[in-house]
Every structure is written in structure tokens, then in C-alpha cells.
Amino acid sequence: MRFAIQINEGPYTHQASDTAYRFAKAALEKGHEIFRVFFYHDGVNNGTRYTVPPQDDRNLQKLWSELAESHKLDLVVCIAAAQRRGILDANEAKRQGKDGDNIAPGFRISGLGQLIEAGIESDRMVVFGD
């Protein structure tokens, strides 16, 4: 089956991203396809490479980046939500006149159309949030 995943909460305050990660990993291990993971609302905060959690805790950003690399996952951060919350890639940083970017490896910034497209192209849309 082909899944689309939407994540609506940031890391650590909420468990939504952890649960979504475990769902994605389990689905891939069972041979399913993940068409796209779309990060919305505070979920965009999963996509900053500047998080430094304690050594004995999981590093969600890293887990997502690694899963993206090993399975060629499409991790999309909503641009409108990202701009509100200070998540920038190199292009956006330049365009907005900011002195740096913070997007994590394997993540890309794009529009809400990518969420709708994921809904159209997938058999199931699974939303993880509050």
C-alpha cells in the first residue's frame, strides 16, 4: 500500500513525530511505500538540524534524516508554516535576508500543494498530531 504521512507536532513536546517515525519504519519494513511525509504546523520543527537533545535521548531529526537517506523518503516541510517558525533552507535564507539556514539533511521546503498531492496520490493519508 502507498501511504502519505502528515505530522502536525514538533519533536519532544508531543510524541506525534515519534509515533509517525515508528509507523513509517514499520510500513517500509513490511514492503509498503511512503509517498511523502509532510511536516505541518509545529511539525516543521522536526526539520531543523540545530536540535541537540541529551545524549541518552533519541534524536528525532537524525532518525528522520537517516530514514530518508536509507529509503529515499520525501520529507517535505511546509513553507508557510516553516517561515512562521524560523525553518529555512539556503534559498529561503537568502531570499529573506537571513544570516543562515537550518534545514536538516533529507528535508526539503515546499508548498501546501505537496500535501494535497500526497492525499491524491496515496491509498491512505495518516495524520499524526495532537
Partner 1 sequence: MTDENTKKKFLYLNRKAPFGTIYALESLEVVLIGAAFEQDVSLAFIDDGVFQLMNNQDATAAGMKNFSKIYRALGDYEVRKLYVEKESLDLRGLTVGDLMPVTYEDEDENYEEKPSIRVVDRAEMAKLIAGHDVILSF
Which residues bind to partner 1, rule: CB under 8 A?
A: 6, 8, 40-41, 80-81, 111-113, 115-117, 119-120, 125, 127, 129
The angle formed by the CA atoms of residues 55, 8 and 119, to the nearest 5 degrees, is 125
Q: What pairing do the DSSP bridges indicate for beta strands 124-128 and 2-7?
A: parallel
Q: Which of 78, 82, 103, 115 is catalytic?
A: 78
Q: Choose between 54 and 113: whose C-beta lies nearer to partner 1.
A: 113
CB-based contact 2:33 (threshold 8 Å): yes
Q: How far is the CB of 123 from partner 1 (least distance, A)?
A: 9
Q: Choose between 68 and 81: whose C-beta lies nearer to partner 1.
A: 81
Give the largest Cα separation in the chain, rounded: 44
Catalytic residue list: 78
